[in-house]
Amino acid sequence: MRWSRYFLPTMKDTPAEAQIASHRYMLRAGMVRQNAAGIYTWLPMGLKVLTKIADIVRDEQARAGANEVLMPTIQSAELWQESGRFDAYGPEMLRFEDRHGRTMLYGPTNEEMITDIFKRDVQSYKNLPMNLYHIQWKFRDEVRPRFGVMRGREFLMKDGYSFDVDKEAAELAYKKVFISYLRTFRRLGLTAIPMQADTGPIGGDLSHEFLIQAETGESEVFFDSAISGDKAFTEDLTNDTELEAAFDRLTAAYARTDETHEAALFDAEVPEERKVVSRGVEVGHIFYFGTKYSEALGATVSNADGKDVPVHMGSYGIGVSRLVGGIIEANHDDDGIIWPTEIAPFGVGIINLKVDDEGCTSACDQLYAQAQAAGLDPLLDDRDMRPGGKFADMELIGLPWVITIGPRGLKDGMAELKNRRTGEKQDVAIADVLAKVSAG
Ligand code: P5A
């Protein structure tokens, strides 16, 4: 992409409404623009990152055996009246009437709808286990939308739902998602600690939140630092026995949010030197709620004995749009964002220091074409602007590598290569520079 042809409106000054780094940088780096409280437009570079995150989530869902569907954002109130949540959900749910006077709502979550979809076509245990998910916009009329996309009113969620014939099978499904989330977050460059959680308006008796550490996180967290050293965070588990053992290890260790924290237990169980008291951002939340929705909505399957039983369910959420902010909270410095390679909006930036110099421009164009051919997805800063502004913008948008070409180095066939994360700069022959970037 050529910057001159790209809608990437950066801002030099810090917007007054942004209180945390991710919000500031998402506005300054031209990723989002607010339309109403907690409601945002995603501009091209923001959308590119959001899409990359969603694609990694998708890939890991496929690996875990889940099927992707796409349910609507607008739901009719009827199923919610049947489950009893229409009244229980409260003012967070946006309700309205269509032209026929039917009550509709903008979905805050999809347990009822997926249960209804399931029951219409699945009647036998032979079709189970089943796990269906979608990645879709949600609306929750939060009392205090804040911190940009971190607590929006409209936000993108991956929500998955598992169906099993009995409790034992459903718990295994829950554990599989639990472990697959560790891998999903790892691919996004994050260590998300699973913590025992309250079930809130979703209901049920087993629930975990996944939190990444960030000073600006909304919840206080208390956990045993030994958890993040568990091999489940870095290694892939090959079978159900290994998976269950990892689940048992991770859930036996102390890890709680402020809502569920039991100070006495924390003191008794965790050695002083391993106690972490910090703040965290909830990027995922999973629930096992058994037959709560299947009983209310009449979703039964015949079991191996030919008996009709209500299907056992769980639901599993990842805050896809919140992750954009969460990843920036975990990866930035005073100059801007530092993208993990896997989700960087472009693989490499190329700065043309002097666009009115024919030599510089033709060297940059050539390098740009080569980087494209090599699959490096380059962003070429070909704007007619002072070097200082170009450097500052490139730091702000945080691409992993930046190649700068100016008239002085070009005389000797040299470019400067900078690593955004380490800040390390080196002079490299233009002919070799892309090989260096590819090698990482
Ligand atoms: C699980 C999937 C649920 O809704 N039903 C379907 C269950 N869980 S949850 O915890 O309420 O939400 C799942 C994840 O969505 C993100 N999230 C938000 N992101 C941005 N702005 C919000 N207002 C918001 N609310 C929830 C969180 O990452 C949460 O873990």
Using CA atoms, how far apart are residues 30 and 393, in angstroms rounded to an integer? 10
Which residue lies with its CA nearest to atom 17 of ligand 1?
A: 319
Q: Output the ligand 1 site: residues, CB below 6 A.
A: 109, 140, 142, 151-152, 155, 157, 159, 202, 282-285, 287, 315-317, 319, 321-322
Closest ligand 1 atom to 157 CA: 15
Could you tell me the pTM of the whole model? Answer: 0.97
Collect all residues with Cβ–Cβ distance below 8 Å to 355 and sequence separation of at least 6: 361, 382, 383, 384
Q: Which atom of ligand 1 is nearest to the CA of 142?
A: 23
Q: How far is ligand 1, taken at its centre, from the CA of residue 151, in Å?
A: 10
The ligand 1 atom nearest the CA atom of 152: 21
Q: What is the distance between the alpha carbons of residues 418 and 428, in angstroms, rounded to a whole number?
A: 10
**Residue with CA at minimum distance from ligand 1 atom 3:** 317
Whether the bond into 129 is cis, omega within 30 of 0: yes
For residue 341, how far is its CA from the centre of ligand 1 (angstroms)?
26
Nearest CA among 361, 407, 398, 404 for reference residue 382: 361
Closest CA to 347 of 426, 410, 420, 409: 420
CA angle 423, 388, 15 (to 5 degrees): 90
Residue whose CA lies nearest to ligand 1 atom number 21: 151
Check if the beta carbon of residue 293 is closer than 8 Å to that of residue 202: no
Between the CA of residue 8 and those of 45, 268, 383, what are the distances in Å?
Answer: 7, 52, 12
C-alpha 156 to ligand 1 mean position (Å): 9
The per-residue pLDDT string of the chain (440 residues; one tens digit each, 9 = 90 and over) reads 999 999 999 999 988 889 999 999 999 999 999 999 999 999 999 999 999 999 999 999 999 999 999 999 999 999 999 999 999 999 999 999 999 999 999 999 999 999 999 999 999 999 999 999 999 999 999 999 999 999 999 999 999 999 999 999 999 999 999 999 999 999 999 999 999 988 777 777 799 999 999 988 989 999 999 999 999 998 988 899 999 999 999 999 999 999 999 999 999 999 999 999 999 999 999 999 999 999 999 999 999 999 999 999 999 999 999 999 999 999 999 999 999 999 999 999 999 999 999 999 999 999 999 999 999 999 999 999 999 999 999 999 999 999 999 999 999 999 999 999 999 999 999 999 999 999 98
Ligand 1 atom closest to the Cα of residue 110 is 6
Residue nearest to atom 2 of ligand 1 (CA): 317
Atom of ligand 1 nearest to the CA of 281: 28
Q: How far is the CA of 318 from the centre of ligand 1 (A)?
A: 7
Counting from 1 in the atom list of ligand 1, the atom nearest the Cα of 210 is 30
Ramachandran angles phi, psi of 280, nearest 5°: -145, 155
